[in-house]
A and B are shown apart, each in its own frame.
Chain A
Amino acid sequence: MDNLNFQSAGYMSKKEVELRRIFLEQVNYIPAGERIKRCIQCGTCTGSCPVSYAMDISPRQLIALFRAGEMETIMKSRTIWICASCYACTTRCPSGIKITDIIYALKRTAMEKNYISQANQVQILANLFVNNLMKYGRLHEGTLIRNYYLKTSLWKLFKLIPLAKKLYQTKRLSLFPKRINAYHSLSKIIKKAQEIDLRITAPPLEYSPEYVGYRTLGEMKLEQRKGE
Protein backbone atom coordinates (compact mmCIF):
# COMPACT_ATOMS: atom_id res chain seq x y z
CA MET A 1 0.00 0.00 0.00
CA ASP A 2 2.81 2.34 0.87
CA ASN A 3 4.13 2.22 -2.68
CA LEU A 4 0.94 3.48 -4.18
CA ASN A 5 1.51 6.79 -5.82
CA PHE A 6 -1.44 8.90 -4.83
CA GLN A 7 -1.85 12.16 -3.04
CA SER A 8 -3.31 12.24 0.42
CA ALA A 9 -6.49 14.21 0.72
CA GLY A 10 -5.80 17.89 1.14
CA TYR A 11 -2.23 17.68 -0.21
CA MET A 12 -0.96 18.76 -3.59
CA SER A 13 1.34 17.25 -6.18
CA LYS A 14 4.87 18.58 -6.58
CA LYS A 15 3.97 20.14 -9.91
CA GLU A 16 1.08 21.93 -8.32
CA VAL A 17 3.22 23.21 -5.47
CA GLU A 18 5.77 24.54 -7.96
CA LEU A 19 3.13 26.33 -10.06
CA ARG A 20 1.62 27.82 -6.97
CA ARG A 21 5.01 29.00 -5.75
CA ILE A 22 5.76 30.80 -9.03
CA PHE A 23 2.31 32.30 -9.13
CA LEU A 24 2.39 33.57 -5.54
CA GLU A 25 5.87 35.00 -6.09
CA GLN A 26 4.38 37.10 -8.90
CA VAL A 27 1.41 38.06 -6.75
CA ASN A 28 3.82 39.37 -4.15
CA TYR A 29 4.97 42.04 -6.58
CA ILE A 30 1.47 43.32 -7.23
CA PRO A 31 0.69 46.22 -4.93
CA ALA A 32 -2.18 44.96 -2.75
CA GLY A 33 -1.85 41.57 -4.46
CA GLU A 34 -2.41 39.75 -1.17
CA ARG A 35 -6.06 40.75 -1.32
CA ILE A 36 -6.60 37.59 -3.35
CA LYS A 37 -7.20 36.14 0.12
CA ARG A 38 -10.32 38.19 0.48
CA CYS A 39 -12.30 36.64 -2.38
CA ILE A 40 -15.84 35.91 -1.32
CA GLN A 41 -16.77 34.16 -4.59
CA CYS A 42 -19.54 36.62 -5.34
CA GLY A 43 -19.02 36.56 -9.11
CA THR A 44 -19.02 40.31 -9.65
CA CYS A 45 -15.84 39.88 -11.73
CA THR A 46 -17.51 37.38 -14.04
CA GLY A 47 -20.60 39.53 -14.36
CA SER A 48 -18.53 42.62 -15.22
CA CYS A 49 -16.26 40.93 -17.72
CA PRO A 50 -17.14 41.79 -21.34
CA VAL A 51 -15.57 38.56 -22.60
CA SER A 52 -16.51 36.08 -19.89
CA TYR A 53 -19.08 34.55 -22.22
CA ALA A 54 -16.21 33.31 -24.36
CA MET A 55 -14.14 31.88 -21.50
CA ASP A 56 -13.96 28.23 -20.49
CA ILE A 57 -13.41 29.10 -16.81
CA SER A 58 -14.93 32.25 -15.39
CA PRO A 59 -12.78 34.82 -13.53
CA ARG A 60 -14.47 33.82 -10.26
CA GLN A 61 -13.64 30.19 -10.92
CA LEU A 62 -9.97 31.08 -11.43
CA ILE A 63 -9.67 31.99 -7.78
CA ALA A 64 -11.75 28.99 -6.69
CA LEU A 65 -9.52 26.67 -8.70
CA PHE A 66 -6.39 28.23 -7.30
CA ARG A 67 -7.67 27.61 -3.80
CA ALA A 68 -8.65 24.07 -4.68
CA GLY A 69 -5.12 23.28 -5.84
CA GLU A 70 -6.02 23.11 -9.52
CA MET A 71 -3.40 25.47 -10.93
CA GLU A 72 -2.78 23.17 -13.84
CA THR A 73 -6.38 23.49 -15.02
CA ILE A 74 -5.95 27.26 -14.99
CA MET A 75 -2.68 27.05 -16.91
CA LYS A 76 -4.33 25.10 -19.72
CA SER A 77 -7.38 27.31 -19.89
CA ARG A 78 -8.35 29.76 -22.58
CA THR A 79 -9.53 32.24 -19.98
CA ILE A 80 -6.23 33.80 -18.95
CA TRP A 81 -5.38 34.53 -22.59
CA ILE A 82 -8.71 36.00 -23.60
CA CYS A 83 -8.60 38.66 -20.87
CA ALA A 84 -8.26 41.95 -22.72
CA SER A 85 -7.05 43.73 -19.61
CA CYS A 86 -9.91 46.24 -19.38
CA TYR A 87 -9.90 46.26 -15.57
CA ALA A 88 -13.72 46.15 -15.26
CA CYS A 89 -13.43 43.33 -12.70
CA THR A 90 -10.73 45.11 -10.69
CA THR A 91 -12.80 48.27 -10.62
CA ARG A 92 -15.89 46.54 -9.32
CA CYS A 93 -14.54 43.82 -7.00
CA PRO A 94 -16.13 44.48 -3.61
CA SER A 95 -13.08 42.96 -1.91
CA GLY A 96 -10.63 45.17 -3.82
CA ILE A 97 -8.87 42.24 -5.47
CA LYS A 98 -6.52 43.17 -8.34
CA ILE A 99 -8.01 40.55 -10.63
CA THR A 100 -6.52 41.84 -13.89
CA ASP A 101 -3.05 41.84 -12.35
CA ILE A 102 -3.71 38.37 -10.92
CA ILE A 103 -4.52 37.20 -14.44
CA TYR A 104 -1.26 38.77 -15.67
CA ALA A 105 0.54 36.81 -12.95
CA LEU A 106 -1.17 33.63 -14.18
CA LYS A 107 -0.16 34.41 -17.77
CA ARG A 108 3.42 34.88 -16.73
CA THR A 109 3.39 31.67 -14.71
CA ALA A 110 2.10 29.82 -17.75
CA MET A 111 4.71 31.41 -20.03
CA GLU A 112 7.48 30.58 -17.58
CA LYS A 113 6.48 26.94 -17.28
CA ASN A 114 5.83 26.64 -21.02
CA TYR A 115 2.19 25.74 -20.80
CA ILE A 116 0.77 25.84 -24.27
CA SER A 117 -2.93 26.42 -24.05
CA GLN A 118 -5.48 25.94 -26.78
CA ALA A 119 -5.38 29.73 -26.97
CA ASN A 120 -1.67 29.72 -27.77
CA GLN A 121 -2.04 32.42 -30.42
CA VAL A 122 -1.77 35.00 -27.63
CA GLN A 123 1.52 33.49 -26.55
CA ILE A 124 2.76 33.71 -30.14
CA LEU A 125 1.73 37.34 -30.32
CA ALA A 126 3.31 38.16 -26.96
CA ASN A 127 6.60 36.59 -28.00
CA LEU A 128 6.63 38.38 -31.35
CA PHE A 129 5.89 41.63 -29.54
CA VAL A 130 8.91 41.20 -27.29
CA ASN A 131 11.14 40.29 -30.24
CA ASN A 132 9.96 43.36 -32.10
CA LEU A 133 10.65 45.61 -29.15
CA MET A 134 14.06 44.09 -28.45
CA LYS A 135 15.06 44.53 -32.07
CA TYR A 136 13.93 48.10 -32.65
CA GLY A 137 13.12 49.71 -29.30
CA ARG A 138 9.70 50.63 -30.58
CA LEU A 139 6.82 48.56 -31.80
CA HIS A 140 6.36 48.40 -35.54
CA GLU A 141 2.75 47.39 -35.93
CA GLY A 142 3.05 46.30 -39.55
CA THR A 143 5.89 43.88 -38.83
CA LEU A 144 4.18 42.50 -35.73
CA ILE A 145 0.88 41.81 -37.46
CA ARG A 146 2.52 40.38 -40.57
CA ASN A 147 4.74 38.01 -38.59
CA TYR A 148 1.83 36.98 -36.41
CA TYR A 149 -0.38 35.99 -39.31
CA LEU A 150 2.52 34.30 -41.10
CA LYS A 151 2.75 32.03 -38.08
CA THR A 152 -0.93 31.53 -37.47
CA SER A 153 -3.09 32.03 -40.53
CA LEU A 154 -2.14 33.07 -44.03
CA TRP A 155 -5.80 33.35 -44.91
CA LYS A 156 -6.29 36.03 -42.29
CA LEU A 157 -3.21 37.89 -43.55
CA PHE A 158 -4.78 37.83 -46.96
CA LYS A 159 -8.04 39.16 -45.55
CA LEU A 160 -6.16 42.14 -44.11
CA ILE A 161 -5.21 43.44 -47.54
CA PRO A 162 -8.21 45.83 -47.81
CA LEU A 163 -7.32 47.36 -44.42
CA ALA A 164 -3.67 47.72 -45.40
CA LYS A 165 -4.75 49.37 -48.63
CA LYS A 166 -6.85 51.90 -46.76
CA LEU A 167 -4.01 52.63 -44.38
CA TYR A 168 -1.73 53.16 -47.36
CA GLN A 169 -4.17 55.49 -49.05
CA THR A 170 -4.52 57.62 -45.93
CA LYS A 171 -0.73 57.71 -45.44
CA ARG A 172 -0.91 55.67 -42.28
CA LEU A 173 1.03 52.63 -43.38
CA SER A 174 4.66 52.51 -42.42
CA LEU A 175 6.42 49.82 -44.38
CA PHE A 176 9.73 49.48 -42.64
CA PRO A 177 10.61 49.47 -38.96
CA LYS A 178 13.38 51.73 -37.76
CA ARG A 179 15.51 51.51 -34.69
CA ILE A 180 15.63 54.21 -32.08
CA ASN A 181 19.01 55.92 -31.79
CA ALA A 182 19.40 54.95 -28.17
CA TYR A 183 18.89 51.33 -29.13
CA HIS A 184 22.18 50.22 -27.56
CA SER A 185 21.57 51.83 -24.23
CA LEU A 186 18.08 50.30 -24.16
CA SER A 187 19.54 46.86 -24.86
CA LYS A 188 21.99 47.31 -22.00
CA ILE A 189 19.08 48.10 -19.66
CA ILE A 190 17.16 45.04 -20.84
CA LYS A 191 20.20 42.77 -20.49
CA LYS A 192 20.85 43.94 -16.96
CA ALA A 193 17.17 43.60 -16.02
CA GLN A 194 17.20 40.02 -17.30
CA GLU A 195 20.18 39.26 -15.04
CA ILE A 196 18.38 40.79 -12.09
CA ASP A 197 15.28 38.74 -12.79
CA LEU A 198 17.35 35.56 -12.67
CA ARG A 199 18.88 36.32 -9.31
CA ILE A 200 15.64 37.41 -7.64
CA THR A 201 14.55 34.81 -5.15
CA ALA A 202 11.03 34.48 -3.91
CA PRO A 203 10.39 36.59 -0.83
CA PRO A 204 8.89 34.69 2.11
CA LEU A 205 5.25 34.02 1.46
CA GLU A 206 2.53 33.87 3.96
CA TYR A 207 0.95 30.62 2.95
CA SER A 208 1.50 26.91 3.30
CA PRO A 209 2.29 25.63 -0.17
CA GLU A 210 1.42 22.03 0.55
CA TYR A 211 -2.19 22.51 1.53
CA VAL A 212 -5.23 23.20 -0.55
CA GLY A 213 -8.31 25.20 0.28
CA TYR A 214 -8.59 28.22 2.51
CA ARG A 215 -5.79 26.93 4.74
CA THR A 216 -3.19 27.81 2.09
CA LEU A 217 -3.93 31.44 2.48
CA GLY A 218 -2.65 31.89 6.00
CA GLU A 219 -4.01 34.38 8.44
CA MET A 220 -6.55 36.69 6.92
CA LYS A 221 -5.41 40.19 7.65
CA LEU A 222 -8.05 42.75 6.98
CA GLU A 223 -5.98 45.86 6.74
CA GLN A 224 -7.80 49.10 6.47
CA ARG A 225 -9.09 49.98 3.04
CA LYS A 226 -7.76 53.36 2.15
CA GLY A 227 -9.43 55.58 -0.41
CA GLU A 228 -10.36 52.96 -2.95
Chain B
Amino acid sequence: MKYAYYPGCSLEKTQRGYDQSVREIFKILGQELIEIEDWNCCGATMYMSVKETVSLAVSARNLAIAEKMGLDIVAPCSSCFTVLAKTNRILNQVPEMHQNVNEALSESGLSYSGKTRVRHPLDILVNDIGIESIIHKTKRSLNGLKVAPYYGCQIVRPEKGFDDRENPVLMDKLFNKCGAEIVYYPMKVRCCGGMLMTTFEDTALKLNKELLECAQKHQADIIVTTCPLCHMNLEGYQDRINEIYNTKFNMPILYFTQLLGIVLGLPESSLGLDSSFIPMPQKLKSIMEVQYV
Protein backbone atom coordinates (compact mmCIF):
# COMPACT_ATOMS: atom_id res chain seq x y z
CA MET B 1 0.00 0.00 0.00
CA LYS B 2 0.95 3.60 -0.58
CA TYR B 3 0.37 6.32 1.99
CA ALA B 4 0.78 10.07 2.12
CA TYR B 5 3.27 10.67 4.90
CA TYR B 6 2.76 13.60 7.24
CA PRO B 7 5.75 13.72 9.61
CA GLY B 8 4.75 16.86 11.50
CA CYS B 9 6.99 19.55 12.93
CA SER B 10 8.56 17.68 15.86
CA LEU B 11 9.59 14.72 13.75
CA GLU B 12 11.61 16.93 11.44
CA LYS B 13 14.48 17.30 13.84
CA THR B 14 13.81 17.09 17.58
CA GLN B 15 12.28 13.63 17.33
CA ARG B 16 14.20 12.36 14.35
CA GLY B 17 14.30 8.88 15.91
CA TYR B 18 10.56 8.51 15.41
CA ASP B 19 10.71 9.76 11.82
CA GLN B 20 13.60 7.49 10.86
CA SER B 21 12.10 4.41 12.48
CA VAL B 22 8.65 4.92 10.92
CA ARG B 23 10.19 5.25 7.46
CA GLU B 24 12.44 2.21 7.95
CA ILE B 25 9.81 -0.19 9.25
CA PHE B 26 7.31 0.80 6.58
CA LYS B 27 9.97 0.16 3.96
CA ILE B 28 10.89 -3.25 5.33
CA LEU B 29 7.21 -4.22 5.56
CA GLY B 30 6.71 -3.31 1.90
CA GLN B 31 4.65 -0.17 2.43
CA GLU B 32 5.41 2.98 0.53
CA LEU B 33 5.41 6.37 2.26
CA ILE B 34 5.32 9.43 0.05
CA GLU B 35 5.93 12.59 2.01
CA ILE B 36 3.29 15.25 1.39
CA GLU B 37 5.03 17.97 -0.55
CA ASP B 38 5.39 21.17 1.36
CA TRP B 39 3.10 20.13 4.16
CA ASN B 40 2.41 22.76 6.78
CA CYS B 41 1.93 22.61 10.54
CA CYS B 42 -1.37 20.96 11.51
CA GLY B 43 -2.27 23.91 13.72
CA ALA B 44 -2.06 22.09 17.06
CA THR B 45 -2.26 24.68 19.82
CA MET B 46 -3.28 27.52 17.50
CA TYR B 47 -6.80 26.16 17.64
CA MET B 48 -7.41 28.10 20.83
CA SER B 49 -6.21 31.50 19.75
CA VAL B 50 -7.56 32.04 16.27
CA LYS B 51 -11.05 31.75 14.95
CA GLU B 52 -12.41 28.52 13.63
CA THR B 53 -12.03 28.91 9.87
CA VAL B 54 -8.34 29.81 10.08
CA SER B 55 -7.36 26.84 12.20
CA LEU B 56 -9.46 24.44 10.13
CA ALA B 57 -8.19 25.79 6.80
CA VAL B 58 -4.56 25.50 7.90
CA SER B 59 -4.95 21.85 8.79
CA ALA B 60 -7.26 21.10 5.83
CA ARG B 61 -4.58 22.22 3.38
CA ASN B 62 -2.69 19.02 4.20
CA LEU B 63 -5.81 16.91 3.84
CA ALA B 64 -6.52 18.52 0.46
CA ILE B 65 -3.04 17.79 -0.88
CA ALA B 66 -3.29 14.16 0.26
CA GLU B 67 -6.68 13.89 -1.41
CA LYS B 68 -5.12 15.13 -4.65
CA MET B 69 -2.48 12.41 -4.27
CA GLY B 70 -5.34 9.95 -3.84
CA LEU B 71 -3.80 8.55 -0.65
CA ASP B 72 -4.63 8.23 3.02
CA ILE B 73 -2.49 10.19 5.46
CA VAL B 74 -0.15 8.55 7.93
CA ALA B 75 0.49 10.86 10.89
CA PRO B 76 2.79 9.41 13.59
CA CYS B 77 2.55 12.38 15.97
CA SER B 78 -0.45 11.96 18.27
CA SER B 79 -1.20 15.64 18.24
CA CYS B 80 -1.13 15.94 14.43
CA PHE B 81 -3.18 12.77 14.22
CA THR B 82 -5.86 14.12 16.53
CA VAL B 83 -5.95 17.58 14.98
CA LEU B 84 -6.15 16.30 11.39
CA ALA B 85 -8.84 13.78 12.33
CA LYS B 86 -10.75 16.45 14.20
CA THR B 87 -10.66 18.75 11.17
CA ASN B 88 -11.98 15.92 9.06
CA ARG B 89 -14.79 15.29 11.51
CA ILE B 90 -15.87 18.92 11.73
CA LEU B 91 -15.76 19.38 7.96
CA ASN B 92 -17.86 16.29 7.45
CA GLN B 93 -20.41 17.19 10.10
CA VAL B 94 -20.77 20.95 9.74
CA PRO B 95 -21.52 21.68 6.05
CA GLU B 96 -21.20 25.46 6.33
CA MET B 97 -17.71 25.08 7.81
CA HIS B 98 -16.79 22.78 4.94
CA GLN B 99 -17.94 25.39 2.48
CA ASN B 100 -16.02 28.18 4.22
CA VAL B 101 -12.84 26.14 4.40
CA ASN B 102 -13.09 25.26 0.73
CA GLU B 103 -13.52 28.90 -0.12
CA ALA B 104 -10.28 29.66 1.75
CA LEU B 105 -8.45 26.73 0.16
CA SER B 106 -9.51 27.82 -3.32
CA GLU B 107 -7.25 30.86 -2.91
CA SER B 108 -4.32 28.57 -3.66
CA GLY B 109 -6.16 26.39 -6.13
CA LEU B 110 -7.01 23.62 -3.66
CA SER B 111 -10.26 22.04 -2.65
CA TYR B 112 -11.15 19.28 -0.27
CA SER B 113 -14.12 16.97 -0.55
CA GLY B 114 -13.56 15.14 2.73
CA LYS B 115 -12.29 11.80 1.51
CA THR B 116 -8.81 11.63 3.01
CA ARG B 117 -8.58 9.23 5.90
CA VAL B 118 -6.15 10.04 8.69
CA ARG B 119 -4.32 7.00 10.00
CA HIS B 120 -1.84 6.28 12.74
CA PRO B 121 1.11 3.95 12.02
CA LEU B 122 0.08 1.67 14.91
CA ASP B 123 -3.34 1.20 13.34
CA ILE B 124 -1.84 0.35 9.95
CA LEU B 125 0.75 -2.03 11.40
CA VAL B 126 -1.65 -4.03 13.50
CA ASN B 127 -4.94 -3.75 11.63
CA ASP B 128 -3.86 -3.59 7.98
CA ILE B 129 -0.56 -5.41 7.78
CA GLY B 130 -1.42 -7.64 10.71
CA ILE B 131 0.65 -8.99 13.57
CA GLU B 132 1.01 -12.40 11.89
CA SER B 133 2.64 -11.00 8.76
CA ILE B 134 4.93 -8.87 10.89
CA ILE B 135 5.96 -11.89 12.97
CA HIS B 136 7.03 -13.68 9.75
CA LYS B 137 9.61 -10.99 9.16
CA THR B 138 11.06 -10.77 12.66
CA LYS B 139 14.74 -11.38 13.09
CA ARG B 140 14.99 -11.04 16.84
CA SER B 141 12.91 -11.94 19.84
CA LEU B 142 12.25 -9.62 22.76
CA ASN B 143 12.33 -12.56 25.15
CA GLY B 144 12.92 -11.43 28.71
CA LEU B 145 12.34 -7.74 28.04
CA LYS B 146 9.74 -6.05 30.23
CA VAL B 147 7.86 -3.37 28.40
CA ALA B 148 5.48 -0.69 29.70
CA PRO B 149 3.28 0.35 26.78
CA TYR B 150 2.38 4.02 27.05
CA TYR B 151 -0.22 5.18 24.55
CA GLY B 152 -0.69 8.70 25.81
CA CYS B 153 -3.99 10.45 25.59
CA GLN B 154 -4.57 11.63 22.07
CA ILE B 155 -4.15 8.68 19.76
CA VAL B 156 -7.27 6.86 20.89
CA ARG B 157 -9.37 9.87 21.80
CA PRO B 158 -11.76 11.65 21.72
CA GLU B 159 -13.84 9.59 19.32
CA LYS B 160 -13.82 5.83 19.26
CA GLY B 161 -10.99 5.11 16.87
CA PHE B 162 -8.84 2.13 16.10
CA ASP B 163 -8.37 1.00 19.68
CA ASP B 164 -10.14 1.17 23.02
CA ARG B 165 -10.22 4.60 24.60
CA GLU B 166 -9.69 3.49 28.20
CA ASN B 167 -7.60 0.40 27.71
CA PRO B 168 -5.92 0.32 24.31
CA VAL B 169 -4.19 -2.99 23.64
CA LEU B 170 -2.65 -2.93 20.15
CA MET B 171 0.91 -2.32 21.33
CA ASP B 172 0.46 -4.88 24.11
CA LYS B 173 -0.57 -7.50 21.57
CA LEU B 174 2.12 -6.58 19.07
CA PHE B 175 5.06 -6.71 21.47
CA ASN B 176 3.69 -9.67 23.34
CA LYS B 177 3.83 -11.61 20.08
CA CYS B 178 7.39 -10.38 19.62
CA GLY B 179 8.30 -12.13 22.86
CA ALA B 180 8.28 -9.23 25.30
CA GLU B 181 6.64 -9.32 28.68
CA ILE B 182 4.06 -6.56 28.93
CA VAL B 183 3.99 -5.24 32.45
CA TYR B 184 0.80 -4.11 34.14
CA TYR B 185 0.65 -0.43 33.27
CA PRO B 186 -2.61 1.17 34.37
CA MET B 187 -1.31 4.62 33.44
CA LYS B 188 -1.23 3.74 29.74
CA VAL B 189 -3.59 6.53 28.67
CA ARG B 190 -2.89 8.99 31.49
CA CYS B 191 -1.89 12.39 30.10
CA CYS B 192 1.78 13.48 30.24
CA GLY B 193 0.75 17.12 30.31
CA GLY B 194 1.91 17.89 26.79
CA MET B 195 2.64 21.59 26.42
CA LEU B 196 1.99 22.12 30.14
CA MET B 197 5.69 21.35 30.52
CA THR B 198 6.25 24.85 29.18
CA THR B 199 3.35 26.69 30.79
CA PHE B 200 2.68 24.85 34.07
CA GLU B 201 5.94 23.08 34.67
CA ASP B 202 5.25 21.90 38.22
CA THR B 203 2.01 20.22 37.20
CA ALA B 204 3.57 18.54 34.18
CA LEU B 205 6.58 17.32 36.17
CA LYS B 206 4.25 15.70 38.67
CA LEU B 207 2.29 13.94 35.93
CA ASN B 208 5.46 12.57 34.38
CA LYS B 209 6.85 11.52 37.73
CA GLU B 210 3.72 9.45 38.27
CA LEU B 211 4.07 7.82 34.86
CA LEU B 212 7.69 6.89 35.51
CA GLU B 213 6.95 5.74 39.03
CA CYS B 214 4.22 3.40 37.81
CA ALA B 215 6.51 1.86 35.20
CA GLN B 216 9.29 1.41 37.71
CA LYS B 217 6.98 -0.10 40.29
CA HIS B 218 6.00 -2.79 37.81
CA GLN B 219 9.63 -3.44 36.94
CA ALA B 220 9.52 -2.26 33.34
CA ASP B 221 12.86 -2.14 31.53
CA ILE B 222 11.64 0.41 29.04
CA ILE B 223 8.60 2.55 28.26
CA VAL B 224 7.43 2.59 24.66
CA THR B 225 5.53 5.61 23.41
CA THR B 226 3.63 6.68 20.32
CA CYS B 227 3.85 10.43 20.72
CA PRO B 228 6.71 12.96 20.35
CA LEU B 229 5.39 15.16 23.14
CA CYS B 230 5.14 12.29 25.63
CA HIS B 231 8.60 11.19 24.56
CA MET B 232 10.09 14.62 25.11
CA ASN B 233 8.45 15.03 28.51
CA LEU B 234 9.34 11.58 29.79
CA GLU B 235 12.87 11.51 28.45
CA GLY B 236 14.03 15.10 28.33
CA TYR B 237 12.74 16.03 31.77
CA GLN B 238 13.73 12.89 33.69
CA ASP B 239 16.77 14.69 35.12
CA ARG B 240 14.63 17.53 36.35
CA ILE B 241 12.16 15.11 37.93
CA ASN B 242 14.99 13.31 39.72
CA GLU B 243 16.28 16.61 40.96
CA ILE B 244 12.94 17.85 42.27
CA TYR B 245 11.46 14.64 43.64
CA ASN B 246 14.73 13.15 44.78
CA THR B 247 14.17 10.04 42.66
CA LYS B 248 16.63 7.98 40.65
CA PHE B 249 14.76 7.28 37.45
CA ASN B 250 16.86 6.12 34.56
CA MET B 251 14.10 4.80 32.38
CA PRO B 252 14.84 4.44 28.66
CA ILE B 253 12.01 5.76 26.48
CA LEU B 254 11.65 4.25 23.01
CA TYR B 255 9.21 4.83 20.23
CA PHE B 256 7.18 1.73 19.47
CA THR B 257 8.51 1.91 15.92
CA GLN B 258 12.08 1.80 17.22
CA LEU B 259 11.37 -1.29 19.29
CA LEU B 260 9.61 -2.92 16.36
CA GLY B 261 12.54 -2.00 14.13
CA ILE B 262 14.87 -3.85 16.51
CA VAL B 263 12.65 -6.92 16.27
CA LEU B 264 12.69 -6.65 12.50
CA GLY B 265 16.48 -6.75 12.60
CA LEU B 266 17.19 -3.18 11.61
CA PRO B 267 20.48 -1.64 12.74
CA GLU B 268 20.63 0.86 15.60
CA SER B 269 21.64 3.77 13.41
CA SER B 270 18.78 3.50 10.94
CA LEU B 271 16.27 3.60 13.80
CA GLY B 272 17.66 6.78 15.25
CA LEU B 273 18.49 5.02 18.51
CA ASP B 274 21.64 7.10 18.70
CA SER B 275 19.42 10.08 19.44
CA SER B 276 18.21 8.78 22.82
CA PHE B 277 19.34 10.59 25.96
CA ILE B 278 19.09 7.50 28.12
CA PRO B 279 21.06 4.49 26.92
CA MET B 280 19.25 1.26 26.13
CA PRO B 281 19.16 -1.32 28.93
CA GLN B 282 21.67 -4.17 28.84
CA LYS B 283 18.87 -6.65 28.10
CA LEU B 284 17.97 -4.85 24.90
CA LYS B 285 21.60 -4.54 23.90
CA SER B 286 22.04 -8.29 24.25
CA ILE B 287 18.90 -8.82 22.19
CA MET B 288 20.40 -6.68 19.45
CA GLU B 289 23.55 -8.78 19.32
CA VAL B 290 21.59 -11.78 18.12
CA GLN B 291 20.10 -11.95 14.69
CA TYR B 292 18.26 -14.89 13.16
CA VAL B 293 18.59 -15.41 9.46
Contact = CB atoms under 8 A, between A and B. Distances in A.
Nearest to A123: B49
A112 B195 CA distance: 22
Contact of B14 (A167, A192, A196): A167
A166 B46 CA distance: 28
Nearest to B109: A185
Interface in B196-243: 196, 198-201, 203, 207, 236-237, 239
B40 A170 contact: no
A173 to B, nearest CB: 7
Interface in B164-209: 165-166, 189-191, 193-196, 198-201, 203, 207
A6 to B, nearest CB: 35
Interface in B223-272: 236-237, 239
Chain B, interface residues (CB within 8 Å), range: 35 or more
A82 B58 contact: no
Contacts of A185: 107-109
A129 B45 CA distance: 7
Contacts of A141: 9-10, 14
Contact of A87 (B57, B158, B203): B158
Contact of A133 (B46, B154, B201): B46
A171 B54 contact: no
A199 B216 CA distance: 54
A138 B276 contact: no
B214 to A, nearest CB: 13
B194 A85 contact: yes
B contacts with A: majority SS: helix
A54 B203 contact: yes
Contact of B54 (A54, A112, A123, A194): A194
A125 B203 contact: no
Interface stretch (A37-45, A174-182, A205-213, A217-225): A174-182
Nearest to A180: B38
A contacts with B: majority SS: helix
Contact of A192 (B16, B52, B103, B275): B103
A82 B202 CA distance: 12
A130 interface: yes
A148 interface: yes
A133 B58 contact: yes
B10 A148 contact: no
A122 B275 contact: no
A202 to B, nearest CB: 12
Given A31-B90, A85-B194, A174-B14, A188 B49 contact: no
Contact of A29 (B43, B52, B108, B201): B52
A15 interface: no
B138 interface: no
Interface of B: 9-10, 12-16, 37-41, 43-54, 56-58, 61, 89-90, 93-94, 96-97, 100-101, 103-105, 107-110, 153-154, 157-158, 160, 165-166, 189-191, 193-196, 198-201, 203, 207, 236-237, 239, 274-277
13 contacts: A101-B158, A111-B49, A112-B51, A129-B46, A138-B41, A166-B277, A181-B38, A185-B107, A185-B108, A190-B57, A193-B57, A193-B58, A197-B54
Interface of A: 26, 29-31, 50-51, 54, 81-82, 84-88, 90-92, 98, 100-101, 104, 107-108, 111-112, 119, 121-123, 125-127, 129-130, 133, 137-141, 145, 148, 156, 162-163, 166-167, 170-174, 180-182, 185-186, 188-194, 196-197, 200, 203, 227-228
